Structures are given as structure tokens and as C-alpha cells.
Amino acid sequence: MKIVFMGTPEFAVESLERIHHSKHSLLAVVTSPDKPAGRGMKLRQSAVKEYCVLNDIPCLQPEKLKDAEFIANLKKLDAEAFVVIAFRMLPQEIWSMPRKGTINIHASLLPDYRGAAPINHAIIQGEQVTGVSSFIIEKEIDTGDILLQKSCKIGKNETAGELHDKLKILGADLIIETLDGLENGKISGQKQAKPANQQKIAPKLTTINTKINFGQSAQQVFDFCRGLSPFPGAWCGFKQGDNESTLKIFKIKILDNAPSTTIRLDPNGLIVPCLDANILLEEVQPAGKRRMSGGEFARGIQISRGNPEVF
């Protein structure tokens, strides 16, 4: 089939490469405009754009998706299907354009974890299984008819970064199976069931919903931290004496003992009480500083300033 691919981050590149080397015809790619980044604010290409440049693939980078010239150029391509992976929300004029529909790969087993951050939220909620879904885009986000799904296990210590790398490969497998199935007429969309648990959603990550609550069980805090590692990182407030700042926490260890009443210093890091057990902060990043081991952070704490607090 004749395909136009739409995507931006590294997660989308695996699927783009797989389509590029498949029997299907990749007509063009749509990605975000180059943006200034870094200290020098030099223009930086998206991961998808970098792949296109290296492989001489035509690349469209509209500032606005409703731009008349961009829409006209899409129509001229006469694609049979659009493939969308980790891209912006499309206007109906675009997603309704191709004859075979606009196909999205979502990193969850829909209808669970609809939203912008399904990988993170699945781990945060302590799920043991997740996967990827291909579906036809419709007006409401992540609600279209499901085409195919693939599942995989989540390791008990697996981080969001590690699961991301597994699912991008699984998603690439799924998009090829989906395109092949649509081409030969062997698959068709099935209506999504109503979510069994309305709490299984995956909203965008913000400074509000990435803050650690130490009043939860140690396992909940453990899952929360690994679900946000390595990016954007779970965080908490940190105070010692009159100095108050923030602390990102990337890795913790649950200790097999009853929770203490105060924070304690340990050669390997800070020991912090949760609802039912203590945790050891094994990898952290203080505000304005580099990422470091918990032991290195603990050694830098000056007891003369008073007992450290996290909140």
C-alpha cells in the first residue's frame, strides 16, 4: 500500500524504519518542525526527521496541521493509509483523508491507559502485563476501532525507559502486521469495549502528577519511581534547615523492616519511611545538580544544618 507516516520521537523511528524496508510504499513522512534546543538554542531535528535525512525520504514539517498548502500536498500524495505514531492530534480533515483510514499505534492494550503517557502509568499502577494496539483514528482520542494487539510482560523491576524500548519494537512488528492485514482484507476494526476500570487512564505527565507521596506503601512508591525513570523522573521536596529545594528520585530499594519515624542517613543513601516499610534512595538528582548515587548524595549532606526532610 501507499503510506504516509506521521511521527516525531525516537519511539516512532523503529516503526518508520520497518515500513521503509517493507513491501509497502513510503510516499512521505510528516514530523514536527525543527526547534531550538540546548544552550546555544540551535535548531534540532526530531528523531524521525534525522532518519528521513539519512535515508532521503521526503519530509513535511508543517507549523500548523490545518495549513491549506500542507493539506493540499497530502491530498496530492493519494496515500491509501496514514500511519501515526507519537504525533500531534490530527484534525478530521486529515485523519479522514486516506481510503484505508489513519492507523495509530498506542502503547497499551486499549481501552486501558488511553492518553499521552501509557507506558509510565501502566508501571505506576503496578501492572504486570501491557502491550501495543493498532486502531483506526476517530474523533475522540484513543477510542477508534481496534485492528490488532500484542501483549508483553512488565518485569517487577522494569523502568519506563526499559519498557519503552520493548514496546517500540513490538509496535513496529504490529504496524507491519496491521498494514499487511488491511491490504489483503484479513483484518477489520472491532469496536473498543468499555474500560473495565475507569481509573486506568494515562494523562500527560506534569509537575503535579509526578510528585511522590511517601504516605503510600513502599511498593507503590517503588512502582511510582520506576514508572517515571529515566524521564521525567519522580520528585519530592527536600529540606534541611532553612534550605528547601527539590529532589528527583530515579531508583529506590524497599527495605525489609518496619517503617521508622524519621529519615536516616546510610552509607548507600537516605532511608525514608513509607506507610508500611522503609525505602533507600539509591539514585537521585538534587535541583541544579547532576544525577548521582544515593550514597554520594548522603555523603554531601551536612548534619550541622539539621535533620533532612522529604515531602
201-237 confidence digits (pLDDT tens): 999 999 999 999 999 999 999 999 999 999 999 999 9
Provide the pLDDT confidence category of residue 304 given band limits of 50, 70 and 90: low
List for the chain the helix, strand, coil content (%; round to 5).
Answer: 25, 30, 45
**Distant-in-sequence, close-in-space partners of 177: CB < 8 Å, separation ≥ 6:** 134, 148
Mean pLDDT of 95-106: 97
Mean pLDDT of 280-307: 90
Cβ contact 57:29 at 8 Å = yes
pLDDT at position 185:
92
For the full predicted model, state whether its pTM sits above 0.75.
Answer: yes
Cβ contact 281:260 at 8 Å = no
Q: Using one digit for the tens of pLDDT, what is the confidence trace for 26-78?
A: 999 999 999 887 777 788 999 999 999 999 999 999 999 999 999 999 999 99
Ordered by where they begin, the domains of the chain are 2-184 (3.40.50.170), 218-310 (3.10.25.10)
Number of helical (H) and strand (E) elements in the chain, helices listed first: 8, 16
